[in-house]
Amino acid sequence: MKFEHQDSVQNNLISLFNSSSTNIESIWHTIENWADNESLFPYKNGSSGQILQALRTAKIKLVDNAPKGTQLKLLIALEGEQKLYFKPKRYNLTDMIKGNVYAGFDRHNSEVLTYYLAMVLNYKWIAPSVIRRIHFYKDILPHATAGLSQTMTKSEKGSTCIYGKCYYCKANDTVCPNSKGEIEGAAILYLDKRFQMHKSPWRRSYSKKKMGWETDNDFCKKVTLTLNTKRILNLIDISIIDFLVQNGDRHRYEVYKGQVLLMDNGKGLGNPMADEMDILAPLYQCCILSHSTWQTLESVSGGSLTETIKLLSSFHGEQLATEDHYRAIERRLLKVYATVQYCIEKLGSAKVFKNKR
């Protein structure tokens, strides 16, 4: 069932994304002059769509390794002073990643789908991200830094491949151009600003050891001693987004202009059959939620969440996930509603719903 209110939410989102304008210079100019406390990057009046179009098409000036982190990725300088992070495709959409919630390589489509998901859920502290195919021999090799060239190797079939520079990068784990000579990946707009990094209170141990949040029923109380309500509400918003795509790897978070950024979203969409509930621990342990997040969640019920993501991503002609994954997101959304219901029953809605500031 669809409500009128849902149509207006969807129409508003369409107006952010359905932009045919491709004046790259002018959208980069808008970004450079962006000084707003409402979102990480401009999004109104088609800006979101224009940024994605620019990320997909802007000419490449320089390609380098991006050595921070465990996953292979590139830092690409575009004509006109903007940069992007390029997380290459490592899996097909139908591949199932078995194992724990942080198993496997990053999924490039998870970065992109999470961007749309966050925008639909009105979480605007995220960098625009879009699928881009880059011609290896025309657009990477001629612009590669010496450092990047040193982390390339010839495959058995004779093509040049990249193994990159990162914590988990290994010379036999390469990314190679496809039969068209292209490498597909997520092009993520680079935030060239200073931000602070914090450890997530709900991070995993990445070993057999149990973390405080896994054993302590009063864990949220401890968190409230160090973090204010606004920060906790932000972390809860993020845990909902992470739960919907099953990203279980939110070990740290970055803060910019007092807002928690949704950065590093590549560990979602691994297994459409899994609903690991503990990703939602911030929500069910603290049992608070911002009013506005709840309103937004209610406004995307009944299938409209994934319908809207599909619609917005269709403007670039890309399929971001299989139907199994979209069904899984809708199924998990029902579990989010049920978790909020549990909190209301436990504490009463007056205690659950909070204002963000």
Ligand X SMILES: Nc1ncnc2c1ncn2[C@@H]1O[C@H](COP(=O)(O)OP(=O)(O)OP(=O)(O)O)[C@@H](O)[C@H]1O
- What residues are labeled active site? 249
190 is in an annotated binding site: yes
Output b/e per residue, 294-311; b: 16+ Cβ within 10 A: bebbebbbeebbbbbbbb
> What is the side-by-side strand order in the sheet with 196-199?
196-199, 252-256, 259-261
Q: At closest approach, how far in Å is the CB of 338 from ligand X?
A: 29
Only segment of 66-74, 138-146, 201-209, 325-333 that touches ligand X (CB under 6 A): 66-74
Q: Is 242 in the site for ligand X (CB under 6 A)?
A: no
Q: Is 232 within 8 Å of 254 (Cβ atoms)?
A: no
If we measure between CA atoms, which residue out of 233, 226, 294 comes closest to residue 260? 233
If we measure between CA atoms, which residue out of 329, 333, 195 comes closest to residue 252? 195
Q: Is 111 in the site for Mn ion (CB under 5 A)?
A: no
Only segment of 55-63, 136-144, 236-244, 258-266 that touches ligand X (CB under 6 A): 258-266
Q: Is 264 in the site for Mn ion (CB under 5 A)?
A: yes
Nearest residue to Mn ion on Cβ basis: 264
Instruction: Write each residue from 178 to 197 as x if it is in contact with ligand X (CB under 6 A), else as -, in one continuous string.
Output: ----------x-xx------
Q: At closest approach, how far in Å is the CB of 351 from Mn ion?
A: 34
43 binds, among Mn ion, ligand X, none (CB under 5 to 8 A by kind): none
Only segment of 158-166, 227-235, 263-271, 303-311 that touches Mn ion (CB under 5 A): 263-271
Task: Pull the structure tokens for residue 6.
Answer: 């849902």
Q: Is 94 within 8 Å of 111 (Cβ atoms)?
A: no
Angle at 287 between CA 128 and CA 227, to 5 degrees: 65
Among residues 109 and 285, whose Cβ is nearest to Mn ion? 109
Among residues 108 and 231, whose Cβ is nearest to ligand X? 108
Run of H or E residues at 64: strand 60-65
First vs last Cα of the chain: how many Å apart? Answer: 33
Residue count at the site for ligand X (CB under 6 A)?
A: 15
189 is in an annotated binding site: yes
In whole angstroms, how far apart are CA 170 and each of 151, 152, 166, 192, 304? Answer: 10, 11, 8, 28, 42
Among residues 85 and 202, whose Cβ is nearest to ligand X? 85
What is the gyration radius of the CA atoms in the chain, in angstroms? 20
Binding interface with Mn ion (CB under 5 A): 264
Binding interface with ligand X (CB under 6 A): 68-71, 85, 106, 127, 166, 188, 190-191, 254, 263-264, 266
Residues within the annotated binding site for ATP?
71, 87, 188-191, 254, 264
